[in-house]
Each structure stands twice: as structure tokens, then as C-alpha cells.
Amino acid sequence: MRRGRLTPGAVRKWGFIASFLAAPLAIYIIFFVSPNLQALQLALTNSRGISPDFQYVGFENFTRLFGDEVFWAAVRHHGLILLVMPLVTIVIALFFSFLLNLGGGQRNGQLTGVWGSSFYKVVFFFPQVLAVVIVGVLFQAVLNPQKSGILNSVLGWFGVDPVGWLIKPDLALWTIIGVMVWQGVGFYVVLFSAGMAGVPKEIFEAAALDGANRFTLFFKITLPLVWNTVQVGWVYLGIAAFDAFALVQVLSIDRGGPDNATTVLPLEIFRQTFTYYRFGYASAMGVALVFLVLTFAALTLRVTRRERIEY
């Protein structure tokens, strides 16, 4: 047999592999690569979406972005959400996951979670069952600025005046971030619990026998062993921070208000497209958003990369 010539067995092997990869690759190209390429093409035009007639304007739409105050306000809001929401969500989720899996102490020589941990996992995961719009509608009642609002009613019992959670520009975005954390914690509690459940209990039990307290057990053993899961969760939450469309659309005053205090890029893209019919300009915003998301994911995976721990 001459070197470099495929044998019939090798042909069958690679043909079998290609047959499995062909469908996912085709779906990826059709539903991700192709729309993004079309958006890039549309971003180079002055299309208004209501007429097939348009002109190519080069990078005019991208140049216009640099002078758009609303665009930069949305970018700043994404930056704030990106700094706060993933960190708070992961810290809370890790805390509860640790309690549900290892916080109950030793029973019959084995580390267990707190009493009723299985029930608590269901309770924490419940917000994930609800659609984002339903969550937004529920929190409209919770955050109503009047005394009749659920949260303000509770605060009224302690003599606190009603708070305009969503009508104060300096408070509205923080309130929406709080709702995003509430909605996301349950999923990551389950995700991190699955990661901890995949670690042999003998490792934790050996550490406990050596005198490790809960602080040491969490930071020195548990967190390093589930770091890959935390890394994935951080990327997912970062991508969610670049979205936030539905919650801002439902909860904010005047779609991104008051005074653009809560606007985000997906909402601004929606407004430019279906309110002002600036399809080309909206596509330029979409391309910028994709670039920001991909940059964040790449940097996060790079910065948080650690050597894999085998056990």
C-alpha cells in the first residue's frame, strides 16, 4: 500500500463521522453563519426594510454608532450588568449549591446536604419554568411604585415610604438586575449541584476527617473541583447580560426609560428596526452586539482557564 492512500476501512470510518457532522454543520451554517453574514451585508446599506431599493453606504452606519449617545448608554448598561449580575448570581448559586449538597454535615459517616435539599432544588428551579415575560409581569406587581405594590406594602409595615423602583433613573437598572439575578439563580444552583454531585464523595469525606471546616471545604476543595462548571456558567450569564431584552421591555418605563436609564442594545435594535425602520443602522448595532458577545466569551474563557483537576 502506498503511503497517503486511504484504505476502504478508513473511507468508511471518515464517511460515518461526516454523516453525523453534516446535519449539525448545515444547521449551524443556515441558522447562525448565514443570518450574521446577511446582517453584515445589510449593515453596509441604508435599507429601511419596507422597500427593496437601497444603496450601499459602506461603513457609514458604523461611524454613526460612535456618535450615538443612546448606543453608548446601552453599552454602559451592559457593562454594569456584566459586572454585577454574573458575579452575584454565581456567588449565591454556589452558596446554595454547597448547602444543598455538603452543608448538612456528616450523617452515618457521609457528608450530606441540608434537610429537605431535594425540595429546595425544585423551589430554586421554579423561576426557570416561567417564561421571561411572565416573570416581568409578576414583578410589575411586586415593584409597583404605589403603596399597593407588594414590595412597598411590606416596606410600609416598617414605616418606609413607597419607593419608585422602576421610575427613578438611578434605581431602575439596579432593580432590573435584581430581577435577573432572582430569575437566574435557580438554574445555576441546579447546574453547580450537578457539578458537585459528579465529584466523588470520598474526597470531601477525607477532607472532613482531616479537620477541614466548611470554609476550607468550599474554597480549597469544592470550588477548584467544579471550576469548569463555574466557567461555563460565567460565560452563559455574560451572554445573558448582553440580552435582557424581554425584562427591560416589560419592566422599564417607556421601553428603556426613564430617560434611557435602562435601555439595552437588543431593545435599541428593536426600536430602530420596527419604530424608525432603519434596518441598515439596526443591523450595524446587531453586528456590534455580536462582536461584543464573542469578545466577552473569548476573554472569559482565556482569563478563567485553569489546569483540569483529575480525580
Chain Cα centroid distance, residue 42: 27
pLDDT, averaged across the chain: 83
Stretches where the chain sits below pLDDT 70 are 1-6, 8-11, 103-114, 211, 305-311
Integer Rg of the chain from CA: 25
Upper half-sphere CA count for residue 268 (Cβ side, 13 Å)? 27
Residue 1, pLDDT score = 43
DSSP codes, 95-123: HHHHHHHHTTEEETTEEE--TTHHHHHHH
**Which one-letter amino acid corresponds to residue 209?**
L
207 phi/psi in degrees, rounded to 5: -65, -40
Residue 178, pLDDT score = 92
DSSP codes, 280-311: HHHHHHHHHHHHHHHHHHHHHHHHT--PPPP-
DSSP codes, 212-265: --HHHIIIIIIHHHTHHHHHHHHHHHHHHHTT-HHHHHHHSBTTTBSTTSS--H
Residue 77, pLDDT score = 93
Q: Is 75 helix (H, G, I), strand (E, B) or coil?
A: helix
All cell numbers assigned to 264: 439595552
Domain locations along the chain: 1-43, 59-303
CATH ID of 59-303, from 1.10.3720.10, 1.20.140.10, 3.80.10.10, 1.10.340.30: 1.10.3720.10
All cell numbers assigned to 79: 457593562
Q: Which residues contact 105 (CB under 8 A, 6 or more apart)?
A: 111, 112
Q: Which residues contact 28 (CB under 8 A, 6 or more apart)?
A: none
Beta strands 110-112 and 105-107 are antiparallel
Q: Which residues contact 218 (CB under 8 A, 6 or more apart)?
A: 94, 98
Q: CA 64, CA 68: separation in Å to the nearest integer? A: 6
Residue 310, pLDDT score = 58
Q: CA 191, CA 251: separation in Å to the nearest integer? A: 27
